[in-house]
């Protein structure tokens, strides 16, 4: 791992891996504050493209609502453009990318050197139950849970005051599709990144999981 200079890391490139609903987005947002590097969520970028009615959004919408993966070329293009923004110079936390071997190979081909891959482990049945309580901010995509991580005011985002909603793809049937997709397409990345893995159990409350991640990263 690169050494921090004071509280600022020279460069830190982390991938958050794990099934949908294992807490990647919530933990990436908390880690971003701790580590001072941006959290990049391909899912959040796609949702904002859909809301804005762009060509990318129109392409992605059907795949997302069916719980399928958006084609690699669309995703790789989004990530490449996001990397060009200046805040990525000190590193980044990738939340939801890569999700296929082709996406991981595209990162390698770009010469991006990943420091650690945090794997959040959570059982499928716990995930299906958890997802029905998840609420997302329409404006900033922050994630809450009605029981495990409730907002201070019901239906309102703590961070930006945006309205909270339930994602269409969090419906139990779609979550099961997303889990199947994860096992088939994304789980092979555990082997791809076998030398960089930091396994963390994601059953506890969000602060305890964050502590475990920081310990696993050695920070
Ligand atoms: P997430 O917010 O990470 O749960 O992503 C929501 C949905 O966006 C996924 O179920 C996919 O349909 C799509 N998506 C997000 N990231 C990717 C990716 N790296 N590759 C393909 N599809 C993605």
Q: Which tens digits make up the pLDDT trace of 109-144?
A: 999 999 999 999 999 999 999 999 999 999 999 999
**Tens digits of per-residue pLDDT, 147-159?**
989 999 999 999 9
What percent of the chain clears pLDDT 90, i.e. is strictly above it? 91
Q: What is the pLDDT of residue 219?
A: 86
Phi, psi of 197, rounded to the nearest 5 degrees:
-70, 140
Q: With a 6 A CB cut-off, is 40 part of the ligand 1 pocket?
A: no
> Which residues are CB-neighbours of 26 under 8 A, at least 6 positions away?
143, 149, 206
Is residue 146 within 8 A of residue 133, CB to CB? The reply is yes
- Give the DSSP H or E segment for 168: none
HEC sequence for 60-128: HHHHHHHCCCCCHHHHHHHHHHHHCCHHHHHEEEEECCCCCHHHHHHHHHCCCCCCEEEEEECCHHHHH
Q: What is the pLDDT of residue 10?
A: 56
Q: What is the pTM of this model?
A: 0.92
User: Which residue, among 36, 39, 30, 38, has the nearest Cα to 7 in the 3D structure?
Assistant: 36
Told to judge if 176 belongs to the known catalytic residues of this protein, a careful annotator would answer no
Residue 178 designated active-site: yes
pLDDT exceeds cutoff 90 at 88: yes
Please tell me the predicted confidence (pLDDT) of residue 70: 98
**What are the tens digits of pLDDT across the range 22-56?**
999 999 999 999 999 999 999 999 999 999 999 99
Q: Is 99 a catalytic residue?
A: yes
Please give the mean pLDDT across all residues of the chain: 93
Which one of 50, 79, 96 would you pick to mutate in the ligand 1 pocket, going by the greatest count of ligand atoms within 8 A of its CB? 96
Task: State the catalytic residue, choosing from 134, 148, 176, 211.
Answer: 134
Name the catalytic one among 13, 24, 47, 130.
Answer: 24
pLDDT tops 50 at residue 6: no
């Amino acid at each position: 791992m690169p050494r921090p200079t004071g509280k600022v890391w020279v460069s830190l490139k982390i991938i958050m891996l794990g099934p949908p609903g294992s807490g990647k987005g919530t933990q990436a947002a908390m880690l971003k504050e701790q580590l001072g590097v941006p959290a990049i969520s391909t899912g959040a970028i796609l949702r904002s493209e859909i809301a804005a009615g762009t060509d990318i959004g129109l392409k992605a919408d059907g795949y997302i609502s069916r719980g399928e993966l958006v084609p690699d070329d669309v995703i790789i293009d989004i990530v490449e453009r996001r990397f060009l923004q200046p805040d990525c110079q000190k590193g980044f936390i990738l939340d939801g990318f890569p999700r296929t071997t082709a996406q991981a190979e595209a990162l390698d081909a770009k010469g991006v050197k990943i420091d650690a891959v945090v794997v959040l482990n959570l059982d499928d049945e716990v995930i299906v139950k958890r997802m029905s309580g998840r609420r997302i901010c329409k404006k900033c995509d922050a994630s809450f849970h009605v029981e495990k991580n409730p907002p201070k005011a019901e239906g309102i985002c703590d961070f930006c005051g945006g309205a909270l909603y339930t994602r269409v793809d969090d419906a139990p049937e779609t979550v099961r599709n997303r889990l199947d997709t994860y096992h088939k397409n994304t789980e092979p990345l555990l082997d791809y990144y076998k030398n960089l893995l930091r396994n963390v159990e994601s059953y506890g409350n969000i602060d305890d999981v964050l502590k475990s991640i920081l310990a696993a990263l050695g920070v």
